[in-house]
Chain A
């Protein structure tokens, strides 16, 4: 089925919004935006002919004209249900930084958190060296689209040797119907510094498009734990790309929870320098007609890197999950140690998962493994629970819950863990604990 990918409506609307975008007076940013616009003009949204997108049809983005908005209306009680108490927080409403909702009081001087707009309005020399450097517009046309359209975002920098006492939560919230929330976020963790950042994607509008690009820089020996909890509204479209540059001895721990949206795509890419470590975990839950795509790419560029990847998926009804995990071990990346695993549980005959682990190894002294499973619940386990008095439907829920909860269990932040746990229980209601 050929679907016309016509970006015309977005391109036609662009001139009207361009002048209001931040950084209009910065030639280097204008170049990045123009370049992004050109790429998007040439390719439209990625389509099925693109190998990296062969399982994910973005035609829906052309069917609805998603539009940027300044609207900041929000139900704060609803928002607060997702807010972590023991964290600093940044709130982006419809893709725009909200200083009234963000809670940054008492942030130590070693940690700088500002809106992308403010960062671009100030002395942006440092930002120029970062923005567009962890990922370029060539990555794919959604990144290019983001470069042209992003209206705000957050810029975070942690000073060398500083360890953040509390995590920073970034709440990406969409409240306005058919809004386009395009943000670009830059995170810099300086040498030997450590930080924990939690991204939540939520929405109260019925339909919208949330498109966020994160560029993360881990300097030598830095550590970043990054959680992503995508719990978008049922009919939302979501794109979130996180692109990481890991300097030597740095450590990235990423957890990706993809629960919401009708169409969701997450990209995680990390480039590993000497002896750096990267661990990426993921859990995608799809039901009804959800389509959830997860794309990871780990580039071992230099020797002695370690990567661990563990993704699980649970697909019910007519949902479709995609896992494409690429590990590339460059010629110089000797003694790389890499493991990748993707396990899927299909709960219905109509559910589908496309899983594609890819190992590309150009070095000769490496230890790499990958494994994939797609299966159903084990009947002997269902019977075991039944034989203990649990009815069949609850038995299936308990087992599914247990399968998924293994990933939630890996979350070290207790507040976030509780929030995710609640989400899981709502999906697989079993007898309460």
Chain B
């Protein structure tokens, strides 16, 4: 599904990722943990195609394609979805409009006709229910005036409608209270499927109590310094990150 090999990324000539290697197979859930400044968000941004990052070395292959060569919108249409750490407010654009525009852009890319208006509403409303959101959210401007928890739920709603193949969750759990976290985690769990992979970037072990990963990686100083099963997260919770710094994977 996704194969990252020796990835080096700089921002304004400052190296952030320094040889990151990671493979994700279809259906797997990988968690990436690590201290602040380790390069977690840089990884999610580079994978989704945000401007401002320079790849100086290495490669990213997604479903056999060079992911780094693709425009952000093409990556999205090919099934890469980024749930933003800080979802952007877009005044004047309603949620339902964005969902429809996004879904149709994806369908067009795959040679499918535009979604039928009634079918679309049915799909969207079922997903809204899944995330325990009020239908009124659909008609509000994207993220405008939403609480932190509502914004994160809205990201997962988009993922639920767009049904990506690779879902990158960038600190989706940060800033959520336990109730909101449960709802978001249930949403994520409902999306788990044999052909859908997840890359969960998190700062807190707590998320992994609700979404059980297949693999846990520790990202420090721009590289994966340790990988293991879910029990690694518990170890990190107990010991912190300092014992891993300076180690190579």
Contact = CB atoms under 8 A, between A and B. Distances in A.
A317 interface: no
A386 B75 CA distance: 9
Select the residue from A385, A401, A409 with max chain B CB neighbours within 10 A: A385
Nearest to A431: B101
A379 B51 contact: yes
Interface string A361-398: 00000000000000000111101111111111011001
A403 interface: yes
A431 B104 contact: yes
A403 B48 CA distance: 26
Given A380-B88, A430-B101, A386 B72 contact: yes
Given A386-B76, A389-B76, A391-B73, A431 B105 contact: yes
Given A379-B51, A386-B76, A387-B72, A402 B101 contact: no
Select the residue from A378, A386, A433 with max chain B CB neighbours within 10 A: A386
A390 B93 contact: no
A72 to B, nearest CB: 41
B90 A399 contact: yes
Given A385-B98, A388-B98, A402 B72 contact: no
A401 B92 contact: yes
Contacts of A389: 73, 76-77, 101-102, 105-106, 109, 162
A382 to B, nearest CB: 9
Nearest to B80: A387
Contacts of A409: 92
B88 A398 contact: no
A409 B92 CA distance: 9
A406 interface: yes
A406 B76 contact: no
A386 B72 CA distance: 6
Contacts of B129: none
Select the residue from A388, A392, A403 with max chain B CB neighbours within 10 A: A388
A197 B100 CA distance: 36
A245 B91 CA distance: 35
A326 to B, nearest CB: 28
Contacts of B91: 402-403, 406
A430 B105 CA distance: 11
Interface string A83-105: 00000000000000000000000
B90 A386 contact: no
B172 interface: no
B81 to A, nearest CB: 8
A388 B162 contact: yes
Nearest to B48: A387
A263 to B, nearest CB: 29
A398 B73 contact: no
Contact of A384 (B90, B100, B104): B90
Is the interface on chain B under 10, 10 to 19, 20 to 34, or 35 or more residues?
20 to 34
Contacts of A379: 51
Interface in B85-129: 87-88, 90-93, 97-98, 100-102, 104-106, 109
* Residues of B contacting A: mostly: helix
A335 interface: no
A402 B73 contact: no
Contacts of A405: 92
A405 B81 CA distance: 28
B158 interface: yes
Given A388-B102, A431-B105, A433-B97, A402 B92 contact: yes
B92 A390 contact: no
B84 A388 contact: no
Interface string B39-75: 0000000001111000000000000000000011101
Given A381-B88, A431-B104, A431-B105, A387 B93 contact: no
Nearest to A400: B92
A131 to B, nearest CB: 42
Contact of B105 (A381, A390, A433): A390
B233 interface: no
A383 B158 contact: no
Contacts of B162: 388-389
Contacts of B48: 387
Contact of A402 (B49, B51, B90, B105): B90
B92 A383 contact: no
A431 B76 CA distance: 17
A349 B81 CA distance: 33
Nearest to B52: A379
A403 B109 CA distance: 27
B110 to A, nearest CB: 11
Contacts of B184: none
Contacts of B98: 385, 388
Nearest to A433: B97
A398 B82 contact: no
A120 to B, nearest CB: 46
Contacts of B109: 389
Contacts of B75: 387
Nearest to B141: A402
A388 B158 contact: yes
In order of increasing CB-CB distance, the 4 nearest A-B pairs are A402-B92, A389-B76, A389-B105, A388-B102
Given A384-B88, A388-B76, A402-B91, 10 more contacts: A384-B90, A385-B90, A387-B48, A387-B49, A387-B50, A387-B72, A388-B162, A403-B91, A430-B101, A433-B97
Interface of A: 378-381, 383-392, 394-395, 398-399, 401-403, 405-406, 409, 430-431, 433
30 contacts: A379-B51, A381-B90, A383-B50, A383-B72, A384-B84, A385-B101, A386-B72, A386-B76, A387-B81, A388-B76, A388-B98, A389-B73, A389-B77, A390-B101, A390-B102, A391-B71, A391-B73, A392-B73, A394-B101, A395-B73, A398-B97, A398-B101, A402-B92, A403-B91, A405-B92, A406-B92, A430-B101, A431-B100, A431-B101, A431-B105
Interface of B: 48-51, 71-73, 75-77, 81-82, 84, 87-88, 90-93, 97-98, 100-102, 104-106, 109, 141, 158, 162
